Amino acid sequence: MQKLVDLTENIKVIRDLAKDVLKKYIRYMKDVTSEESKIMKKLKDINLPENANEQILEIIDKSVEDADSILTELEMFSELVANGKLGKEGMAEKCPYMASVWFGDMYGVKGIEALVMLRSELEEEITKAGKKVFLEHIRSIFVQ
C-alpha cells in the first residue's frame, strides 16, 4: 500500500514541478523576444552577438523539453502503471520519456526510486529557472 501512496505522491509532485518549469521558462521566452524586456536590459552590459535572442531561446528550449515530455506523457504513464501494464516496449511506445525513467534507462534505478530522481532533477531545474541564476547562466555563455 505504501508503494501506491509513494507512486501517487511522486507523480503529483512531478506534474506540479514540470508545470512550474514550463511556466518560468515560457515567461523568459516572451522576455527574450523583445530587446526592451527586463532580461535583455540586464544583459546589455555584455556585448551580446547579433543573434543572442535566438541563442537564448535555444537554451530555453532545451530546458523545457523534458518538462514538456513529462506533462505530455504523465497521464498515460499513470494509467499504464495503475493498470499494471508495465511492459517496457508497450510503455516506451506510448510514453517514451517516462518509460526511460521508469525502467532505469535514465537514472540507473527503476520504478519509484527513478521517479524520486526525476523529481529531484525537476527541483534543480526550478532553481536554475530562478531569474538571478538564469541570468548568471546566460552571462556565463556569452562572456568569455
User: What is the pLDDT at residue 18?
Assistant: 96
Q: Which residue has the cell 523576444?
A: 33
pTM: 0.84
* Positions of the chain with pLDDT under 50: none
User: What is the pLDDT at residue 144?
Assistant: 66
CA distance 52 to 39: 12
CA distance 40 to 32: 6
In the chain, what are the helix, strand and coil shares in percent, each to the nearest 5? 75, 0, 25
Tell me the DSSP string of 57-70.
HHHHHHHHHHHHHH
What are 26-59's pLDDT values in tens digits?
Answer: 888 888 887 777 888 888 888 888 888 888 899 8
User: What is the pLDDT at residue 120?
Assistant: 96
